[in-house]
Amino acid sequence: MMEIAWIVPLFPLFSFFFLLAVGKKMKETSAYVGILMTLLSFLLSLAVLFDRLGGSTYKAEHVWLTIGSVKLTAGFAVTALNAWMLVVVSLVSFLVHIYSKGYMHGDERFSVFYAYLGLFTFAMLGLVLSPNLLQTYVFWELVGLGSFLLIGFYFYKEEAKAAAKKAFIMTRIGDVGFFIGMILLFWQVGSFAYDDIFRAAEDGTLSQTMVTLTAILIFIGAVGKSGQFPLHTWLPDAMEGPTPVSALIHAATMVAAGVYLVAALFPLYEASETAMLTVAVVGGFTALFAATIGLVQTDIKRVLAYSTVSQLGYMMLALGSGSYVAGIFHLTTHAFFKALLFLAAGSVIHAVHTQDIEKMGGLWRKMPLTGPLFLIGTLAISGVPLFSGFFSKDEILVAAWTHGHVALFWIAVVTAFFTAFYMFRLFFLVFGGEKRHDEKDVHEAPAVMTLPMIVLAVLAVAAGYVHTPWFGTFLGDWLTDGAYAHETAPGWIMAVATAVSLLGIFLAWLMYGKRSLARDWLSSRVPYTYSLLWNKYYIDELYMRTVGYAATAISLLLSYIDRFVVEGIARLIAATVHTSASLGSRMQNGQVQMYGAVTFVGLALLVVILAFTGGYL
């Protein structure tokens, strides 16, 4: 099966082209094309995964381009990581495809939506299969394009347009780092292939400084894509896109691409202490930073967006702490429970037509399926024991502790507390208490939307058991080819993690569930902190005041240069082209004598030059 793994991305690609061509006529039946194609992708991915479980890494490469002595290859690889990611991506994509049939029902550009989803899924699967940096980069940009198109899907909304633009530009800043890192590696190693790069990092072909430099540059790309501080601001804004898109792209798959990239290049990072530390610090800081913002936001999707940023920070922290397995494990569980949360949020939005949690409330009874499903997701992300998030978060805490990052460990613990708090704040405000919305006819979402959520809920619980300290570390053993280091973690870590998560839930219950604690008992005492958080640390404003104004000033200057200098030159060039064109066609007067004369004049000129230069130019 592994030999034909390259077919996996082709199904959604077909769906993209097919729907682009005939989607208009098919209207809402286009959904079936998309669903069928992603189902095929998923089944094949599953087959590939099973094949890989018993086998070893498969790699196929062909020379794509030869330039001088440099050969560029293209191909695909099925490593443990790739096979695993294939399944995660195709499964979530498949479920989101089904869900969207209900969510996007009645949209005028229904088939276009499915076409874009196909393009994105193709790019994401292609990214996962890439065996070299160049190919990764191509697909990296393609997923960016898919994300851009889908964030701006409601392009008639100003906010959506601005958000799409912002996402594109912010991630592009990171991509520049990635690109420079990639070119540097190619320059030093002479190849884009992962294997060659790892070999060079190992045998010292790459100097220590170069390893650190390139690893950090590529990490900047990951920072942009995975919404890490300081390039995180695009991700919350990206919530302007349709909610299934937020679930697929901005929670489960694309934003995890940054984490995946660092994981795929893990041997390179391992070769540099500095790079590892950078990854860990940025991840830990982002985790706490985003969690604090999440405490006070009132838009349901934005709270989830900040929690995504925060959880991605966790994954980076895990990778930076040297635990490849913990990072990928959390990526997986997060993909499931966060997709679940987003889809459930979509179902809520679908029902009450608002995203403001202050205007929701009392939905537990009205939505008998969505409520419990959302609760499962919330429990999972809060790290309540027996849910998947508990195991993966525990793994990260252990990694941070055993790797000696004491400060980062405690940051992660505090973050876990905040996470539990803001997630249950969200839960109680949306589902508990009294009805605060004006929607009269609130009803549960159709089965086509609830079914994918149920599947995800099962996974949000079950996915944790592939790797637990109690029943066996299957995922870790397999991902590391049996070399998984069974670190004896101090037992108190698990106890602390459980305690802070329960504490967070309890506090949220007191404030928003039972309401025995006034909602503003804390915020009224620290109004400045509150407004700081409410305004997301003024990061957007900071960018606007510094980079924004500087850019405006520079752009004003440049526009003058453009108008008077560049345009002047351009006009000159255009005029030259025009003159030479008309001159040329005037010479072309149809008389063959003229043509002969031109030849002789040309020849004579050449000979004269030869004579004057004493024989040679």
Partner 1 sequence: MSMHTLLQYKWSMMTPEFIVLITALILSLADLWMPNDKNRRPLAWIAVVGVVIALIATAGLIPAKPVSILYDTFRIDSFSKAFKLLVLAGGALCLLLALDYRPKEGLSHRGEFYYLLLCALLGAMIMASSGDLITLFVGLELLSVSSYILAGIRKTSAQSNESALKYVISGGIATAITLFGMSYIFGLTGTTNLKEMAFEVQKLADSNYQYLLALAFLLLLVGLSFKISSVPFHMWAPDVYQGAPTPVTAFLSVVSKTAGFVILLRLFITIFAAAPAHGKDPSSLLLSMQNYIAVLAGLTMIIGNTVALRQRSMKRLFAYSSIAHAGYLLVGFAAMSWVMIDSIWFYLLAYVLMNVGAFAIIQRLSDEADSDDMIHFAGLYQRNPLLAVSMGIFLLSLAGIPGTAGFIGKLNIFLGALMTEPGHYMLAAVMIATTVVSYVYYFGVFVQIFFRPADEAASVKLPVGLTVTVVLCAFGTLLFGIFPSLAYQVLAQFEHFGDFLQ
* Interacting residue ranges for partner 1, rule: CB under 8 A: 62-68, 577-578, 580-582, 584-585, 587-588, 590, 592, 594-596, 598-599, 601-603, 606-607, 609-610, 615-617
Nearer to partner 1, 106 or 590 (CB): 590
Nearer to partner 1, 70 or 495 (CB): 70
The CB-of-65 to partner 1 minimum distance in angstroms stands at 6
Nearer to partner 1, 66 or 488 (CB): 66
Lookup result for tokens 């913990």: 326
| CB-side neighbour CA atoms (13 Å) of 464 | 24
Separation of alpha carbons 457 and 337, rounded Å: 7
* 277 contacts: CB under 8 Å, gap ≥ 6: 320
DSSP annotation of 59: E
The CB-of-144 to partner 1 minimum distance in angstroms stands at 18
The CB-of-453 to partner 1 minimum distance in angstroms stands at 41
The CB-of-594 to partner 1 minimum distance in angstroms stands at 7
Whether 327 contacts 316, CB under 8 Å = yes
The CB-of-334 to partner 1 minimum distance in angstroms stands at 37
* 140 contacts: CB under 8 Å, gap ≥ 6: 127, 175, 178, 221, 225, 257, 261
Nearer to partner 1, 559 or 582 (CB): 582
The CB-of-62 to partner 1 minimum distance in angstroms stands at 7
The CB-of-603 to partner 1 minimum distance in angstroms stands at 5
Q: Which two tokens stand for residue 379?
A: 């429990």
Q: How far is CA 479 from the centre of its chain?
A: 22
Lookup result for tokens 């010292």: 204
Nearer to partner 1, 132 or 333 (CB): 132
The CB-of-561 to partner 1 minimum distance in angstroms stands at 21
Closest-CA residue to 9 (of 134, 89, 126, 139): 126
The CB-of-264 to partner 1 minimum distance in angstroms stands at 25
The CB-of-605 to partner 1 minimum distance in angstroms stands at 8
Nearer to partner 1, 482 or 615 (CB): 615
Nearer to partner 1, 485 or 583 (CB): 583
The CB-of-66 to partner 1 minimum distance in angstroms stands at 5
Nearer to partner 1, 554 or 609 (CB): 609
CB neighbours of residue 440 within 10 Å: 5
The CB-of-557 to partner 1 minimum distance in angstroms stands at 26
* 409 contacts: CB under 8 Å, gap ≥ 6: 397, 400, 401
Give the total residue count for the chain: 617
Nearer to partner 1, 555 or 599 (CB): 599
Q: Which two tokens stand for residue 241?
A: 């896109």
The CB-of-602 to partner 1 minimum distance in angstroms stands at 3
Nearer to partner 1, 560 or 595 (CB): 595
Separation of alpha carbons 121 and 124, rounded Å: 5
Phi-psi region of 515 (alpha: psi -120 to 50; beta: other; left: phi over 0): left
Nearer to partner 1, 20 or 173 (CB): 20
CB neighbours of residue 604 within 10 Å: 10
Angle between helix 80-103 and 324-352 (nearest 10): 0
Cis check for the bond before 9: say yes or no (omega within 30 of 0): no
Task: Evaluate the CA torsion angle 381, 384, 386, 391 in order and state its sign.
Answer: positive
Nearer to partner 1, 208 or 580 (CB): 580
Whether 12 contacts 38, CB under 8 Å = yes
Nearer to partner 1, 106 or 584 (CB): 584
Closest-CA residue to 284 (of 249, 321, 252): 321
Whether 349 contacts 355, CB under 8 Å = yes
Q: b/e per residue, 272-294, with b = 16+ CB within 10 A?
A: beebbebbbbbbbbbbbbbbbbb
CB neighbours of residue 503 within 10 Å: 14
Helix ranges, 509-614 (H): 527-534, 539-543, 549-560, 567-587, 592-612
